[in-house]
Structure 1
Amino acid sequence: MTPSTPGTAMTDDQIRELVEQILSAGMLPPIVQAGHPALRQRAAAYNGQLPADQLARLIELMRQVMHEAPGVGLAAPQLGIPLQIAVLEDQYDVDPEAAALRNRIPLEFLAILNPRYTPQGSGTAAFYEGCLSLNGLQAVVARPENVLLEYETPDGAAVQRQFSGWQARIVQHETDHLNGILYIDRAQLRSLSSNSEYAAHWAAPGIGRAREGLGFDDQPAGISVS
């Protein structure tokens, strides 16, 4: 998180009212896109701002939006809600070669509150990555292969859990959202591709062809999260 990243200016009452407006709308809310202020602010730590039933309803709504998108993760700021809450789930069937190269195995549904991750070891992996809040684009991001995630569950339990491979990428991506960081902050920008150009030229389990064709390296870039 950079020192200039502002925290949300919304009060607990304003956040609670916003959540209730979204929950009462009777439809799935849109995923906000890059440029929305909630995506560039540090979300408020969850400290009981929402009653238990409202929190449960919000988490279920986020899960529905994630599935509808479809995606493997969604952070509350992507709905314009500046709270440190994210949902994760990866149950998609993927090409076996790509799954092996990316160390991608299924991830059961998780709701995480106030997450923080710490890289474990020095290994990194670089792959194309996208975001539901930057529709139609992908770029290569090098991330730690293994992380320790510290978070709270919706019922208040404190958890420490190791993640590796694609699961580690998902938890890093969603935790970054809660700190006002988008994947493009960490990306090799020469790799930036529209979904259609990616499919036409660079769709492969690894990034070797794209690295040669677009002229980028695969070293970590951007900023750190503390």
Structure 2
Amino acid sequence: MGSASGRVPVAERVEELLAADGALPIVAAGDPVLRRGTEPYDGQLGPALLARFVEALRITMRAAPGVGLAAPQVGVDLRIAVIEDPAPVPEEVRVARGRVPQPFRVLVNPSYEPVGAARAAFFEGCLSVPGWQAVVARHAQVRLTGQDEQGRAVDEVFTGWPARIVQHETDHLDGTLYLDRAELRSLSSHQAVAERWAQPTPEEAAAALGFQLPR
């Protein structure tokens, strides 16, 4: 795959990445791999190499730390992502954002569609855009379809913060960054979010920074 354009075959690229122990380097915004979309996974890595790659994604996500990681974020343009959220947040944040723990999961060839018209807006960040957050309005509930790492069908409805994670990671596989969907007037450093906008919802930020929230 991709040899005609001079790119390294994907299995070879993954083997090179896995040659070093520990977390993989995370690709930052500006690298074309984050923008060109991904190839559907149809066995390019083989079961053993896929398992090793998934474990590397898990290690990298946890080390960052993050609640999701897509293959393009480590330079691999395959339609694979992982998610996991222990959700260690105060009760008022959990209630406002619908943030509940999510076990480690592998998403292979995922896609989503909205369930209903409701949308929710919260500050969101990305491991490939380090140091910044912005408010993103996303579907409050989505239906995710695809497979897991064993090839078993996935067809599940996600609500609240888990729905946000699913949308964020699946967007990565389509070459979309969260900033493409963000209220750019809300763009804030991690420090500014911690000092000014740590409230459970972004109403104060919207009033102070001058952007609209979905109704």
TM-score, length of structure 1 as denominator length = 0.91
CA shift for structure 1 position 206? 0.5
Aligned residue among 103, 107, 111 for 1:112: 107
Given the superposition, is the C-alpha separation of residues 69 and 47 from structure 1 closer, same or farther in structure 2, using an over 3 Å criterion?
A: same
Residue identity opposite 1:121 in structure 2? G
Partner of 1:5: none
Given the alignment, which residue of 82, 96, 100 partners 1:101?
96
* Deviation at residue 27 of structure 1 after TM alignment: 3.5
Distance 1:164 1:10, change over 3 A: farther
1:24-103 equivalences under 5 Å are 24-103=19-98
Gapped regions of structure 1 (runs ≥ 5): 1-7, 221-226
Question: 1:4-19 alignment to 2 at 5 Å?
Answer: 9=2, 14-19=9-14
Structure 1 segments of 4 or more deviating over 4 A?
8-13
Q: CA deviation at 1:9?
A: 4.5
Name the counterpart of 1:3.
Answer: none
Q: 1:151: how far off?
A: 1.1
Asked if structure 1 preserves the Cα contact closer than 8 Å seen for 2:87 and 2:100, the reply is no
Match of 1:136 in 2: 131
Instruction: Tell me whether 8-17 or 146-155 shows the greater mean CA deviation.
Output: 8-17
The superposition leaves residues 96-119 of structure 1 with CA deviations (integer Å, 9 ceiling, x where unpaired) of 101110011101110010000000
Give, in whole Å, the separation in 1 of the partners of 2:162 and 2:17.
29
Specify the alignment match of 1:223 in structure 2.
none
Q: Distance in 2 between matches of 1:126 and 1:114?
A: 26
Question: Which of 193, 212, 215 is the matching residue for 1:217?
Answer: 212
Equivalent residue pairs, number: 213
Aligned pair in 2 of structure 1 residues 95, 83: CA closer, same or farther (>3 Å)?
Answer: same
- Gap runs ≥5 in structure 2: none
